[in-house]
Structure 1
Amino acid sequence: MIFREATRRDLPAVLALLADEDSVVDPAQVVIGEAHERAFAAIEADPRNEMLVLTGGAGGVGGAGGVGGAGEVVLGCLQLTYVPGLGQNGQERALVEAVRIRADRRGAGLGVELMRLAIERARGRGCGLVQLTSNKRRTAAHRFYERLGFARSHEGFKLHLEP
């Protein structure tokens, strides 16, 4: 397994992971829009943002590829955003978003490894807290995060803005 920052070449595979968490989507079928290109470029250019991927060999994966290079398949992803703040004694906090593991590779510890590596990355940067939100319907994900030590300490709110 390789844990690294995503490159533009990984964008179709990352979007495939985000498209449907219950099945494997072929990255070759993903339509990459102008907004996706802009968003990825902004993440890549911002030192407070990282799109991270967990990759492995293509052998035995089956189904859609998501190949980055040299037989490398994107098996999982997440985005880390480092947020400065006055709380936590002025330490940054790491916000975890878009956590996904390929549907056909769940249950093998990849999610635990992906989150462990992300937490270590945040710790290494000096963050005092790692936080995330999860859709209320993702009850299996909630159990997963709780097993990792995350606590339900706050209630989240969102306001969707119309263009």
Structure 2
Amino acid sequence: MAKFKKKQGGEMPAISTASLPDIVFMLLFFFMVATVMRQNTLKIENNLPFADQVEKLDKKDLVMYIYAGKPSANYRNYGTETRIQLNDDFADVNDIAAFIAAERASKREELIPFLTTALKVDKDANMGLIGDIKQELRKVNALKINYTTKKGAVSGNR
């Protein structure tokens, strides 16, 4: 009859790390796909007006955004008048030309004629400021302008 011997050493076997790179890669891929990158942090109130004839822009990577509105509650120390926001900072009307030049420099040369300037303007914004923005855009030959709105009845703009 066979006799079974008990092991003398109570050592734990080594953990295999062969599948660890696969697990790390799967987690990395998951977070890359599931994460949404935010473009700009709005420092202004941006309650867009309503419009009934709305079209979507085809290529959003060819759009330069200019925001205008009153500073939000966290940024009241900048005043209560309508302000311009370019990327993540408040700006003056005179800064628009430099902003457009920087955006054009970041794109390939063959795409520059297709760049569109989108104005995301609060519905209570001062139209004098919007006129000044448009004058600056004319000076730098940025003539393709898009007004960003919400789809709905125009009567909701009151």
Normalised-by-shorter TM-score class:
0.3 to 0.5
Q: Which has the higher contact order (CA 8 A, sep 6+)?
A: 2
Q: Which has the larger radius of gyration?
A: 2
**With structure 1 as the length reference, what TM-score do the two structures score?**
0.32
**With structure 2 as the length reference, what TM-score do the two structures score?**
0.32
